[in-house]
């Protein structure tokens, strides 16, 4: 996986020798960023690359190993927004083992950090550890928990304002029927959610930094 993270080119050394870096990074990208299921990935690699790859290899030798190799890069990315002048904070719903969790996002123009947590509010924000020590301008929606942190300047995201206004119109059109909560993705285990958050954060950062 190529890209600039931490001032150096990131060429992850996790790929299985029998397939090489191009096949492996393509597999990780398709599964963790484009949400292509393992069965469909197996068909794709046979039809486009004449490569028959078992699901065990896709999971253990590619995705799981990428998750481990990206640990230090993720730590570097997490620390970057802390000293930034502006950072965006957000959260969206996801399911882990059929339970509603939250995927928390911290980002700026150069870095993207994801963190899955069972809670949406202060407990999760404190566990992440970025906003409690952030001194710049925090851009976010109107979720009450964000305003509990007073060492930073708060700015309301206009995109969220527009979305909330659109939702109010839609709810009015539906005679006040409550809409469904947005759910971005579903995972069978906490490990899968952790893998997704780390790898997708790395890929998102690479796409920003080139």
pLDDT, residue 103, reads 95
| Alpha-carbon separation of residue 178 from 121, 162, 169 (angstroms) | 21, 18, 12
- Mean pLDDT for all residues in the chain: 85
Task: Pick the range with the lowest mean pLDDT from 16-30, 54-68, 83-97, 186-200.
Answer: 16-30
Q: pLDDT grade, residue 72 (50/70/90)?
A: very high
pLDDT, residue 6, reads 52
Mean pLDDT confidence for 115-142: 96
Mean pLDDT confidence for 7-31: 70
pLDDT, residue 170, reads 65
Is residue 29 scored above 50 in pLDDT? yes
pLDDT in tens, 154-170: 999 877 666 666 666 66
pLDDT, residue 185, reads 75
The answer for residues whose C-beta is within 8 angstroms of residue 91's C-beta and 6 or more apart is 102, 103, 104, 105, 120, 124, 143
Torsion of CA 145, 146, 150, 154, to 10 degrees: -150
Is residue 101 scored above 90 in pLDDT? yes
| Residue 42 or residue 169, greater confidence | 42
The H-assigned helical ranges of the chain are 20-32, 38-49, 55-56, 65-69, 71-79, 122-128, 158-173, 190-209
Q: For residue 5, what are the β-bridge partners?
A: 8
Mean pLDDT confidence for 106-117: 95
Fold of 84-189: Nucleotidyltransferase; domain 5 (3.30.420)
Domain boundaries, the chain: 4-69, 84-189
What gap in Å lies between CA 191 and CA 67, rounded to an integer?
10
pLDDT, residue 161, reads 60
pLDDT, residue 209, reads 85
pLDDT, residue 142, reads 87
pTM of the predicted model over 0.85: no
Most confidently modeled range among 2-6, 65-69, 101-105: 101-105
């Amino acid at each position: 996986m190529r890209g600039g993270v931490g001032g150096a080119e990131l060429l992850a050394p996790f790929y299985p020798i029998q397939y090489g870096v191009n096949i492996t990074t393509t597999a990780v990208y398709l599964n963790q960023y484009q949400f292509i299921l393992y069965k469909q990935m197996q068909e794709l690699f046979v039809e486009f690359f004449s490569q028959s790859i078992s699901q065990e290899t896709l999971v253990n030798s590619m995705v799981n190993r990428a998750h481990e190799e990206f640990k230090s890069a993720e730590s570097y990315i997490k620390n970057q927004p802390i000293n930034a002048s502006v950072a965006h904070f957000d959260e969206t719903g996801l399911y882990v083992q059929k339970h509603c969790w939250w995927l928390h996002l911290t980002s700026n123009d150069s870095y993207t950090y994801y963190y899955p947590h069972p809670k949406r509010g202060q407990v999760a924000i404190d566990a992440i550890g970025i906003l409690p020590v952030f001194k710049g301008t925090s851009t976010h929606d109107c979720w009450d928990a964000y305003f509990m942190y007073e060492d930073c300047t708060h700015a309301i995201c206009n995109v969220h304002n527009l979305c909330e206004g659109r939702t109010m119109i839609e709810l009015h059109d539906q005679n006040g029927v409550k809409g469904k909560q947005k759910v971005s993705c579903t995972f069978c285990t906490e490990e899968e959610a952790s893998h997704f958050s780390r790898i997708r954060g790395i890929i998102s950062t690479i796409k920003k930094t080139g």
